[in-house]
Amino acid sequence: MKTSDLIALLSQDAPLSARYGRNLRLATLAGVAIALALLLFEIGTRADLAEAMGTVRFLAKLVLAASLGLAALGLAFRIGRPGAKTRGWALALLFAPALLAAGVAIELMTVPADEWMTKLVGRNWAYCLTFIPLLALGPLACLLAAMRGGAPGNPALAGAAAGLAASGIAAVLYATHCTDDSPLFVATWYTIATLVMTAAGALAGSRLLRW
């Protein structure tokens, strides 16, 4: 086929069904809705949610998860657009670990050493390791589906960004269930769950996001 014939062929397919940005926004909404439904109908929120809202430790947990989720979403929205700058969002990703490190430092200074392990192990670490990945699955699938329309230079990295964003969403929701508010607990179990889902995203991305 001559290139001029190919161009004639491509131009017959000119109408664009949906813009990429719109698909990403819809996918995010759908993913959050799925995870929220799972939380409300299957997992439930903690009984003392209203009281917890007044404590710094609980709020810090929410801010931490939300800042991670937002920065990763910002990155995931950009990374599939050729030539778009991603550095700003990549740097914003550092906020959550910095906040977490500060929280851990304060906890270590204020809590006696013999209580560290109790705080770290918490009450339901196994739930945490189960439910965060479970809550993240819906958002991850939705994001990856939308990102298949993108053109990332590095598909594995793009998938990792989606996994991180999905983990952030899941962590915000799971935080309303989980009664372990110690930064030691969050730094251990939330981090493991997030890393698992980020790796899953990278693996899926390297297969699904090639173009």
Partner 1 sequence: MPDASRQREEQWAQWLRLGLDGDQAAYERFLAAIAPYLRAMARRRARESGLPAGDAEDIVQETLIAIHLKRGTWDPQRPLGPWIATIVRNKMIDALRRRGRRVTVPIEDVIETLEAPAAAETLGERDLERLLAGLKQQQVAVVRSISLGGMSVRETALKLSMTETAVRVTLHRALKKLAALYRADTVRETGREGRASDEVEAKE
Per rule CB under 8 A, is residue 83 in the interface with partner 1? Answer: yes
One character per residue 10-49, x = contact with partner 1 (rule: CB under 8 A):
xxxxxxx-xxxx----------------------------
Per rule CB under 8 A, is residue 87 in the interface with partner 1? Answer: no
* Closer to partner 1 by Cβ: residue 14 or 117: 14
* Closer to partner 1 by Cβ: residue 52 or 156: 156
Stretch that binds partner 1, among 31-39, 87-95, 96-104, 150-158 (CB under 8 A): 150-158
Stretch that binds partner 1, among 6-14, 95-103, 104-112, 188-196 (CB under 8 A): 6-14
One character per residue 109-148, x = contact with partner 1 (rule: CB under 8 A):
----------------------------------------
State in angstroms the smallest separation of the CB of 99 from partner 1: 31
Determine phi and psi for 30, rounding to 5 degrees.
Answer: -60, -45
Tell which one of 35, 156, 164, 197 touches partner 1 (CB under 8 A): 156
Residue 54 Cα distances to 50, 88, 99, angstroms? 7, 32, 19
Rule CB under 8 A: which residues touch partner 1? 1-16, 18-21, 80-84, 149-151, 153-157, 206, 210-211
